């Protein structure tokens, strides 16, 4: 059985993929490479157990489940800039909420029952008290946070005895691997945002 990773050339996705590959797992990863790292792909491609498919989640993801025996999905693919989301709220809704809905529906249709979803602390907005816990009210103040929370809600609504999900809300994921093989590449994203480029769905 294989593990499917969306956004595999991204920061968190590539680190997760490398960890799994080093443990002898078979990984099938997709990324549209609008914001993905070619260096990350080069590192992952050193493993014969890694399969990369360049595509969006708006594409034919059903084909992946037809061709590969997938056991678990790690869903990392998403645009991830609070500032940018205010400029393109509908793009963030399509990229995050609708693409997540498509992925979940495809998983259920092909009996893939395990999802790990990459969410964000942005779903909390500006809480009245600290520290934030899982019991803190979710009141997002950005289109990015709203889109992520809507995706979370859809995932939760689909959970059953045959489809389970774990949702991870990150706070400022930073750093690099100790061996230096993978690290952050924020400069590329910042230039693209400043140039006003409108990426397609991830």
Please identify which of the residues 92, 144, 154, 170 carries the catalytic annotation: 144
Residues 6+ positions from 39 with CB-CB distance below 8 Å:
182, 185
Residue 140 phi/psi, 5-degree rounding, is: -60, 145
Compute the distance between CA of residue 123 and CA of residue 190 in angstroms, rounded to an integer: 22
Active-site annotation holds for 144:
yes
Angstrom distance (rounded) from CA 111 to CA 79: 27
> Would residue 12 be called left, alpha or beta, if left means φ above 0 and alpha means ψ between -120 and 50 degrees?
alpha
Retrieve residue 123's tokens: 């779903």
Q: Which of 115, 109, 110 has its CA nearest to residue 67?
A: 110
Q: Tell me which residues are annotated as active site.
A: 144
């Amino acid at each position: 059985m294989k593990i499917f990773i969306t956004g595999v050339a991204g920061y968190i996705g590539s680190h997760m993929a490398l960890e799994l590959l080093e443990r002898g797992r078979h990984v099938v990863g997709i990324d549209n490479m609008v914001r993905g790292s070619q260096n990350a792909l080069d590192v992952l491609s050193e493993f014969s157990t890694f399969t990369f498919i360049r595509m969006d989640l708006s594409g034919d993801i059903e084909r992946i489940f037809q061709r590969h025996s997938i056991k678990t999905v790690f869903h990392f693919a998403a645009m991830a800039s609070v500032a940018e989301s205010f400029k393109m709220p509908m793009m963030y809704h399509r990229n995050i909420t609708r693409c997540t809905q498509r992925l979940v529906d495809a998983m259920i249709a092909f009996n893939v029952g395990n999802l790990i979803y990459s969410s964000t602390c942005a779903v909390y907005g500006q809480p009245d008290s600290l520290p934030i816990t899982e019991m803190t009210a979710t009141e997002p103040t950005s289109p990015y946070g709203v889109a992520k929370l809507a995706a979370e809600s859809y995932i939760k609504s689909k959970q059953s005895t045959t489809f389970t999900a774990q949702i991870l809300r990150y706070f400022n994921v930073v750093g690099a691997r100790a061996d230096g093989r993978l690290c952050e590449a924020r400069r590329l994203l910042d230039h693209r945002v400043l140039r006003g480029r409108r990426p397609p769905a991830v």
